[in-house]
Amino acid sequence: MRILTIIALLASAACGSSAKQAGKDSEPQPSGYPLAAYASRRIAVVPVQMIADEKGLLGDLSRRIAMRSLDSAISRALDDRALHPRWVVAEEVVKSSARNSNYTADPYAYSVAVLDRLPLGERMGEPLSSQLRTMVALQSDVRFVLIPHALNLEKQKDGSTRATLRLAMVDARATDLLWSGEVQVDTPSAPGPALWRALGTKLAALAAP
pLDDT value, residue 12:
40
More confident residue, 29 or 195: 195
| 8 pLDDT more than 60 | no
Beta bridge partners of 131: none
Residue 22 lies inside a defined structural domain of this protein: no
Residue 185 lies inside a defined structural domain of this protein: yes
CATH number, domain containing residue 47: 3.40.50
Say which amino acid occupies 113: A
pLDDT value, residue 147:
98
pLDDT value, residue 54:
86
As a whole number, mean pLDDT of residues 57-72 equals 95
Residue 110: name the closest of 45, 54, 173 by CA.
45
- Confidence at 6, pLDDT banded by 50, 70, 90: very low
Residue 124 lies inside a defined structural domain of this protein: yes
Contacts from 161-168 at CB under 8 Å and sequence distance 24+?
Answer: 161/57, 161/186, 161/187, 161/188, 161/189, 161/190, 161/191, 161/195, 162/186, 163/187, 163/191, 163/195, 163/199, 165/48, 165/70, 165/199, 165/203, 166/115, 166/116, 167/203, 167/206, 168/112, 168/115
pLDDT tens by residue, 187-203: 998 899 999 999 999 99
Q: Whole-prediction pTM value?
A: 0.84
In sequence order, the 6+-apart residues with CB closer than 8 A to the CB of 209 are 30, 32, 33, 36
pLDDT value, residue 170:
98
Beta bridge partners of 154: 162
Residue 24 lies inside a defined structural domain of this protein: no
Residue 196: name the closest of 94, 17, 72 by CA.
72
Residue 158 lies inside a defined structural domain of this protein: yes
| 23 pLDDT more than 60 | no
- What's the total number of domains in the chain? 1
As a whole number, mean pLDDT of residues 21-30 equals 39
Give the DSSP letter of residue 89: P
Residue 172 lies inside a defined structural domain of this protein: yes
| 9 pLDDT more than 60 | no
Torsion, Cα 176 40 208 48, to 10 degrees, reads: -50
pLDDT tens by residue, 102-122: 989 999 999 999 999 999 999
Q: Please tell me the distance from the alpha carbon of residue 182 to that of residue 56, in angstroms, as a whole number.
A: 22
In sequence order, the 6+-apart residues with CB closer than 8 A to the CB of 39 are 83, 207, 208
Residue 28 lies inside a defined structural domain of this protein: no
Question: Could you tell me the residue range of the domain that residue 46 belongs to?
Answer: 37-205
pLDDT tens by residue, 40-49: 999 999 999 9
Give the pairing of strands 87-88 and 161-171: unpaired
Q: Helices (DSSP H) in the chain: which residue ranges?
A: 2-25, 63-80, 90-99, 128-137, 193-205
pLDDT value, residue 10:
36
pLDDT tens by residue, 121-166: 999 999 999 999 999 999 999 999 999 999 999 999 999 999 999 9
Residue 17 lies inside a defined structural domain of this protein: no
